[in-house]
Structure 1
Amino acid sequence: MSTDLLFNSRRSPVVCLHGCVASSQPLASNIGLDILKKGGNAADAAVAMAAALAVTEPCSTGIGGDSLSLFYDASTGNVRGLNGSGRTPRAQTIDFLEGRGYSVSNPPPPFHALNVTVPGAAACWSDIVSLFGSQQLSLQEVLQPAAELALVGFPVAEVTAYHWAKWVATMRAAGREVGSDFLINGQAPNHGQVFRNPALSRTFQLLGQQGKAGFYRGRVAEAIADIIRENGGVMTPEDLGSHNSQEITPISTDYKGVRLWEPPPNGQGMAALIALNILENFPVKELGHNSASYLHVVAEALKLSLTDTMHYCGDPDHVTIPLKGLLAKDYSHQRSQLINMERARGEVERGVPTGSDTVYFCVVDGQGNACSLVNSNYMGFGTGLVPGGCGFSLQNRGANFSLDRNHGNCVGGGKRPYHTIMAAMLTDPASGRLLCSLGVMGAFMQPQGHVQVLLNMCEFGMDPQQALDAPRVFVQHDPTGRLWNINLEEGVDQGVAEDLRRRGHAVNWPINGHERSKFGRGQVISVGDWWNKAVHQEDPGIRVLWAGSDARGDGCAQGF
């Protein structure tokens, strides 16, 4: 596999009036735009795109994974949300796992069937259409374009082809063969090769016709339970049949005139909010974009926020999370420095590759509604287990549980794990007006990406495309969990990297090619050019949409 991925061109932001979509696959973006033109709203279009991405990017997402969304209701000015993450089987308790010989130091292998949590995406898609949709299109009509795409086939995009092959090789090295539904003659498809998935098309048609019952009961549910049981797991049809999405109240913080909305725990959105509360105490703009001083402050804020999040975040039905104190505006930098960093050891990802293992996408419609949506298998194809005749792989989100009995994110029967996926929105704190829908995917990069894209726009006046194109920093623990590494993308000056090393940071620079996947892929759709501080006259009756799509991926923004 070639590791070359040259960044030698530029993009302008997409500007339009009547509706806009942005995703990591052009075919998915096109499907979303078509749904808007047929009378669907932002929620309808987002679900259509979610299904299309499950077809075109199965090494990142799928109906066998989880989904999470935020929805801005233009008629009320409210931000609402749905948690579409699944739970462990009821029988999968810590006692059960310890009885099988697993422990903190010996967890189930990442691709083991015991790491399958109930797939939440199907229910979430259905509920998004039901709760937030236009009611002009049925779920079947929303899913039909993706069902046709899976049946007819599509040419695989460049970045996707690379990661598809990478995950097939990674899983084979670990002793797990990816289901044949995702291979052509035993191999991952090449860039430009046409790939078809008729089994997934049938699954989409069943979900569209029968709703959630078409996935969580009957043939599909039985096939899911069968393959899990055959591979040493304990999920039952009853575990699947009892699953429901959860309507959530998003959490937020204000930062210099904007309000950032994130999903609450079990999602890690709190990490972005805590980091912004710390950064508000610094003259960020005066430090200079991507200077050593700027990156030093941003990295330290992210370390502190991630440490708190990894310690406290879990399923709120099973652990008390002191959100009020953690998100307070007087959040003390000094207090956070007193945190025993040792506690973060073992709470970080257990050898999980970071980067292109999730999709984030967003839509703003002509009425001003917006949907910010993220969908994921967790690690590539998840477990790689494909239920017979279904055309999708099952996630391994359960690999993110702790096996420490004293930890809030300890595995337990019927429990949701600490979840990395997060979708975001910005509103005006005074009026409640939508400013933009945004997100950056990629495991523990996600809160870091949200913070950096927001700062690029709020502090440095970048438009959505510029904010996504700018080089990023990614802080992560080294494999021992004893120290933080500072990953710097190509485009950050060498002198900055050397300055950060003198300040005591362990720096990896420059990161380029396909290794840029460490920094995630993002999408942004903005309502108006609120980030532009220049004084200008604008017709108050016209709302211009500005959009960007991350050049680190295959996708694009489209509008009309």
Structure 2
Amino acid sequence: MKHCASFFSVLPVLLSVLLIPEASLAQIDREAGNMISTRSEVIAQRGMVATSQPLATQVGLQILKNGGNAIDAAIGANAAMGLMEPTGNGIGGDLFAIIWHEESEQVYALNASGRSPRGLSYDELMDILEEKGEDDIPPYDLLSVSVPGAVDGWFTMHERFGSADMEDILAEPIWYAENGFPVSEAISASWRRSVPFLKDQPGAFEETFAIDGEGPEKGEIFKNPDLGNTFRLLASEGRDAFYRGEIAEKIDTWMKENGGYLRYEDFDQHESEWVEPQTINYRGYDVYQMGGNVQGTAVLQMLNILEGFDLSETGFATAETYHLFIEAKKLAFEDRAKHYADPTFHEVPYDVLLSKEYATERRKLIGDTAREDLTTGVDVLEDGDTIYLTTADKNGNMVSLIQSNFRGMGTGFVVPGTGFSFQNRGELFSLDPNHPNVYAPGKRPFHTIIPGFVMKDGEPFMTLGNMGGAYQPMGHVSLITNVIDFGMNMQQAGDALRWEHSGSTQPTDDVDDHLTDVGLVSIESSIDYQVVRDLEAMGHDVQIGHSFFGRFQAIMRDLETGVYYGASESRVDGQAAGY
């Protein structure tokens, strides 16, 4: 009788499903059809924060509730993320942000990436590499450490747009650093993989990031009082504590004692840069990205190429659409490998790369089969861990921010007493003296991390971003086309089936290198296998899974009501929250 009672209790639900038209089933079963979504968007009116760690989301949200704006919330959430997800970011790394400032009605872009040691010349670098028997800059070596730019990025944003005191912004991150927080599931898994690999690096890595010699388990309380003390110095003394005061002096001493190359002067002379964001119009939407030494231009180039195809006609997750995506990516990435570099040292030819005419010419190279021989169309004179977060406030300000150590927990070099690991972004310099991205002292290396922003009719429409090294341009294009071409909401756009292509020429390669095979296409496991067979028939090499498809956050603003729609990565620990 117990089973009968259970059956009759669900019978009304079964009958209601049977009476609903097939087209509406996706409203009930989010696994049905193409519009896969694990949960609803978060909808709120006065403010929104989306990060990959729920406690960090709450830190940003509390700043908004206390009267801070979106810029303040982004800084506070980023500080919390560096503590709570050190496997992807921290103040030993760099930062990029795109900001919509409602009062001035403008989009602003900030390049807060650091530069190579000014005292290490190209010839000296090559001699050191020869002595070490290395052909490239090794990732876990002091040669790969560039000046961390994140802290200066915080204070540069705050000075121009912030409203709350920095003491209030950093109060909760300081509390969590000193009193501890329970480590979330996906972060714990990455952390536990990293500790055995990095714990023998010179410095204080193990005492800072390990518990009994291992990374913290899921739910285990972790504290980082040294980072808390660093935050206190920043709150009371400002950015100069990091670049001209006690922290810079500690780093200078430690580098000299351990054979490092950064010096006090590198920190003293560091500054972030407000730059002109790059933009193109895609089907009536103005898409903004970071240019220069950042790969955001690839997003715009891919969209320019794809605009010549009717994606709504070819359809979501079809072999024809994937073929167009993959080939557009190959074309854009050959330009990425040859032209994206620090604009202080190299003039990036945006007038050509982002023109509709150039896109038309490149589009002609897409045929019915996979291309395996490509290079850039302009004459020339991959895995990383990152976090992306986004915020919005009641006044209409919106922040798209990305921050990274590059390889997971970075180099693993921790100056005792500071609480953070240095990034290894310097690994991404080319050593070809003729390449725009070649190493030079005081130069910013190529970066994979990109914040995204979309406008519609002069109004802010959407912030978006996803971590994941070279995957990021592909992720941005997928999110944008999922919304604009395939009509998905923000959570559906991020939850939908993902693809990735690897094997393109890299900005670290020689200037004469180019694509010589079809590369490898990876698609998440829920793909219809007939699509795989169709792609293989076109000449693509396809694997199911076995790749990294990034993690996303996004906020969309209703252009009529001003209501925010937040979305976050459901594959891991992400959370969007509003009020």
TM-score, reference length from structure 2: 0.87
Give the conservation status (yes or no) of the 8 Å contact 2:112–2:272. yes
1:437 Cα offset (Å):
1.0
1:467 Cα offset (Å):
0.4
Residues 252 and 332 of structure 1, relative CA distance in 2, 3 Å threshold: closer
- For 2:185, the equivalent position in structure 1 comes to 158
1:179 Cα offset (Å):
3.6
1:488 equivalent in alignment to 2:523: yes
- For 1:3, the equivalent position in structure 2 comes to none
Give the conservation status (yes or no) of the 8 Å contact 1:66–1:376. yes
Structure 1 letter corresponding to 2:551: R
Give the conservation status (yes or no) of the 8 Å contact 1:104–1:403. no
1:143 equivalent in alignment to 2:170: yes
- For 1:276, the equivalent position in structure 2 comes to 303
Structure 1 letter corresponding to 2:194: W
Q: 2:554 aligns with which of 505, 510, 524?
A: 524
1:82 equivalent in alignment to 2:101: no
- For 2:89, the equivalent position in structure 1 comes to 61
Give the conservation status (yes or no) of the 8 Å contact 1:86–1:117. yes
Q: Structure 1: which 5+ runs fail to align?
A: 1-6, 531-539
1:405 Cα offset (Å):
0.6
1:231 Cα offset (Å):
3.6
Q: Equivalents in 1 of 2:124, 2:315: separation in Å?
A: 53
Residues 175 and 121 of structure 1, relative CA distance in 2, 3 Å threshold: closer
Q: Structure 2: which 5+ runs fail to align?
A: 1-30, 366-370, 507-514
- For 1:22, the equivalent position in structure 2 comes to 50
- For 1:108, the equivalent position in structure 2 comes to 137
1:478 Cα offset (Å):
7.9
- For 2:19, the equivalent position in structure 1 comes to none
Q: 2:148 aligns with which of 92, 95, 119?
A: 119
Tell me, what secondary structure is at the counterpart of 2:387? strand
Tell me, what secondary structure is at the counterpart of 1:358? strand
Matches within 5 A, 1:353-372: 353-354=383-384, 357-372=385-400
Give the conservation status (yes or no) of the 8 Å contact 1:111–1:176. no
1:197 equivalent in alignment to 2:227: no
Q: 1:222 aligns with which of 244, 249, 259?
A: 249
Residues 149 and 546 of structure 1, relative CA distance in 2, 3 Å threshold: same
Tell me, what secondary structure is at the counterpart of 1:522? strand
Tell me, what secondary structure is at the counterpart of 2:445? coil
Tell me, what secondary structure is at the counterpart of 2:357? coil
Residues 31 and 339 of structure 1, relative CA distance in 2, 3 Å threshold: same
Give the conservation status (yes or no) of the 8 Å contact 1:313–1:409. yes
Give the conservation status (yes or no) of the 8 Å contact 1:20–1:557. yes
Q: Equivalents in 1 of 2:308, 2:300: separation in Å?
A: 13
- For 1:505, the equivalent position in structure 2 comes to 540
Matches within 5 A, 1:246-325: 246-325=273-352
Residues 465 and 74 of structure 1, relative CA distance in 2, 3 Å threshold: same
1:133 equivalent in alignment to 2:152: no
1:99 equivalent in alignment to 2:127: yes
Between Structure 1 and Structure 2, how many residues are aligned?
Answer: 525
1:503 Cα offset (Å):
1.0
Q: Equivalents in 2 of 1:387, 1:294: separation in Å?
A: 49
Larger mean CA deviation between 475-484 and 325-334 belongs to 475-484
1:476 Cα offset (Å):
1.1
Tell me, what secondary structure is at the counterpart of 2:356? coil
Give the conservation status (yes or no) of the 8 Å contact 2:195–2:206. no
Larger mean CA deviation between 138-147 and 185-194 belongs to 138-147
Q: Equivalents in 2 of 1:418, 1:311: separation in Å?
A: 11
Give the conservation status (yes or no) of the 8 Å contact 1:104–1:402. no
Structure 1 letter corresponding to 2:221: V
Give the conservation status (yes or no) of the 8 Å contact 1:358–1:377. yes
Matches within 5 A, 1:376-415: 376-415=404-443
Give the conservation status (yes or no) of the 8 Å contact 2:287–2:300. yes
Tell me, what secondary structure is at the counterpart of 1:399? helix
Matches within 5 A, 1:404-483: 404-428=432-456, 430=457, 432-477=458-503, 482-483=516-517
Give the conservation status (yes or no) of the 8 Å contact 1:478–1:485. no
Residues 451 and 104 of structure 1, relative CA distance in 2, 3 Å threshold: farther
Q: Equivalents in 1 of 2:137, 2:294: separation in Å?
A: 22
Residues 550 and 407 of structure 1, relative CA distance in 2, 3 Å threshold: same
Q: Equivalents in 1 of 2:486, 2:133: separation in Å?
A: 44
TM-score, reference length from structure 1: 0.90
Give the conservation status (yes or no) of the 8 Å contact 1:104–1:404. no
Determine which structure has more spread, i.e. the larger CA radius of gyration.
Answer: 2
Runs of 4+ aligned residues of structure 1 deviating over 6 Å after TM superposition are 172-177, 478-481
1:60-107 Cα offsets, whole Å, 9 max, x none, are 000010011111011232100111000001122211111224499712
Structure 2 letter corresponding to 1:551: S
Tell me, what secondary structure is at the counterpart of 1:377? strand
Q: Equivalents in 2 of 1:479, 1:306: separation in Å?
A: 7
- For 1:535, the equivalent position in structure 2 comes to none
Give the conservation status (yes or no) of the 8 Å contact 1:69–1:371. yes
Residues 471 and 226 of structure 1, relative CA distance in 2, 3 Å threshold: farther
Residues 471 and 169 of structure 1, relative CA distance in 2, 3 Å threshold: farther
Residues 501 and 177 of structure 1, relative CA distance in 2, 3 Å threshold: farther
Give the conservation status (yes or no) of the 8 Å contact 2:47–2:578. yes
1:211 Cα offset (Å):
0.9
Structure 1 letter corresponding to 2:485: E
Q: Equivalents in 1 of 2:375, 2:256: separation in Å?
A: 37
1:544 equivalent in alignment to 2:563: yes
